[in-house]
Amino acid sequence: MKRISLTQHLIEEQRLNNTIPASLRLLIEVVSRACKTISHAVGKGALGEVLGSAGSENVQGEVQKKLDIICNDYLLQANEWGGHLAAMASEEMETIHPIPNRYPMGEYLLLFDPLDGSSNIDVNVSIGTIFSVLKAPEGMTTPTEIDFLQAGTRQVAAGYAIYGPQTMLVLTTGNGVQAFTLDREMGSWVMTTNNAQIPEETKEFAINASNARHWHPPVKRYIDELLAGSTGPRGKDFNMRWVASMVADVHRILTRGGVFMYPADAREPDKPGKLRLMYEANPMAFLVEQAGGAATDGRGRIMDIQPEKLHQRVPVFLGSRSEVERVTSYHRQD
Ligand code: P6P
């Protein structure tokens, strides 16, 4: 079977389908190259002297791993000089990172979680890089945080790299979802899935069940029904998975269906869940919707949310459309 490379796919999207301009093609190529570098660093593990804590905390108050910082730097360095970006934002940086004056400023804003699931790094479980691309507002001269506060529907591209048994890049530019597997011998991304589709129905759900006693009633009702299986109102048995690496859980759902949930709960009533809107929920929601699935915060479409803060959190329910619609309807009835 003749497979095409990421480069050929992007050039065809630009030239044949006219869906992406050359500057966005360059941006995606640069990000994909940085993900290859990250894959190499992650793959070394202890041999690379890069495991363990960095002894610092990020803006989220989370302990940073050495690799969190290394991978953040890889993405900054790779994207600074190309002339395609105006600024970047990252889970690992409190404020935005404007392109240095010595480089030309481009028309895009890049947001990323450089190494999502980093609690899994030291135990050799799949982790990933998540990215989201927005256009800088017309007439913007000096980027500020406010320029990033755009709803998820304004994303022009989104994707993730997953560093697992295979290293893969999963991407959308608004024209379906394509997956590329890294051919390590050639150093190239090769398309292995074109137009990924999430099955409407599923028997698999993903949630951190250790938080069950803290869940709000709509989540508790929904999960209790799944656990009741064929003896309960759903009339069928369900299976559970929880990798605690959003990229790995979402990749499984994009591959074979399922529903992923990180709800708000009673532990911290003012905290709307754990996941961040701008560089985790929005890019994953774009991918999931482009693959025929759904993504809500329990009440409304995640991609319709008007952001107020760069690092704001949001409850996440995403995956197979029928299940997301069901759990969302339970919230609306609450
Ligand atoms: P918990 C990883 O730290 C992350 O941000 C997501 O990748 C993952 O889905 C979630 O947190 C896991 O959270 O509370 O189960 O450890």
The predicted pLDDT at position 269 comes to 87
Mean pLDDT, residues 230-239 taken together: 97
Residues 11 and 151 grouped into a single domain:
yes
Tell me if 117 CB under 6 Å of ligand 1.
yes
Total domains, the chain: 2
Question: Are 108 and 216 within one domain?
Answer: no
- Report the mean per-residue pLDDT for the chain: 95
From the CA of 65, how far away is ligand 1's center (Å)?
14
**Domain of 277?**
204-333
Which of 164, 192, 220 is the last residue before a domain boundary?
Answer: 192
Strand, helix or coil at 120?
A: helix
**Is 198 within the bounds of a domain?**
no
- 126 Cβ inside 6 Å of ligand 1: no
In short, whether 120's Cβ falls inside 6 Å of ligand 1 is no
- Asked whether residue 113 falls in the same domain as residue 238, the answer is no
Residue found under tokens 């560089």: 279
* Boundary-marking domain end, from 136, 167, 192: 192
Instruction: Identify the domain boundary among 135, 166, 192.
Output: 192
Q: Which residues pair with 61 in a beta bridge?
A: none
Q: Is residue 129 part of a domain?
A: yes
- 210 in the same domain as 181: no
Minimal-distance CA residue to ligand 1 atom 12: 244
Establish whether residue 7 lines the binding site of ligand 1, counting it when its CB lies within 6 angstroms of any ligand atom: no
261 lies in the same domain as 217: yes
Same domain, 16 and 109: yes
Residue 78 belongs to some domain of the structure: yes
> Does any domain span residue 230?
yes
pTM beyond 0.85, yes or no: yes
Residue 313 DSSP one-character state: B
pLDDT confidence band for 66 (50 / 70 / 90): confident
The model's pLDDT over 296-332, given as tens digits with 9 standing for 90+, comes to 999 999 999 999 999 999 999 999 999 999 999 999 9
Residues 173 and 29 in one domain: yes
Give 245 Cα–ligand 1 centroid separation in angstroms. 6
Instruction: Give the whole-number percent of the chain exceeding pLDDT 70.
Output: 100
| 37 belongs to a structural domain | yes
264 and 127 belong to one structural domain: no
Least confident of 57-71, 286-300, 315-329: 57-71
- If asked whether residues 186 and 213 sit together in one domain, one would say no
In 177-323, DSSP assigns E strands to 177-183, 188-194, 204-206, 239-240, 259-262, 294-296, 316-319
pLDDT for 323 equals 98
282, part of any domain: yes
Look at residue 59 and tell me if it is in a domain: yes
Same domain, 124 and 272: no
pLDDT at 183: 97
| CATH number, domain containing residue 136 | 3.30.540.10
Q: Are residues 168 and 22 in the same domain?
A: yes
| pLDDT, tens digit, 9 for 90 and up, residues 185-227 | 999 999 999 999 999 999 999 999 999 999 999 999 999 999 9
CATH classification of the domain holding 260: 3.40.190.80
Q: Compute, in angstroms, the gap from residue 274 CA to the centroid of ligand 1.
A: 7
Band (pLDDT 50/70/90 cuts) for residue 52 is confident
Q: What percent of the chain has a predicted confidence (pLDDT) above 90?
A: 90
Task: Give phi and psi for 64, each to the nearest 5.
Answer: -85, 140
Task: Point out the least confidently predicted range of 50-54, 79-83, 98-102, 296-300.
Answer: 50-54
Any domain includes 159? yes
Q: Is there a single domain that holds both residue 180 and residue 218? A: no
Which pLDDT tens digit goes with each residue over 277-286? 999 999 999 9
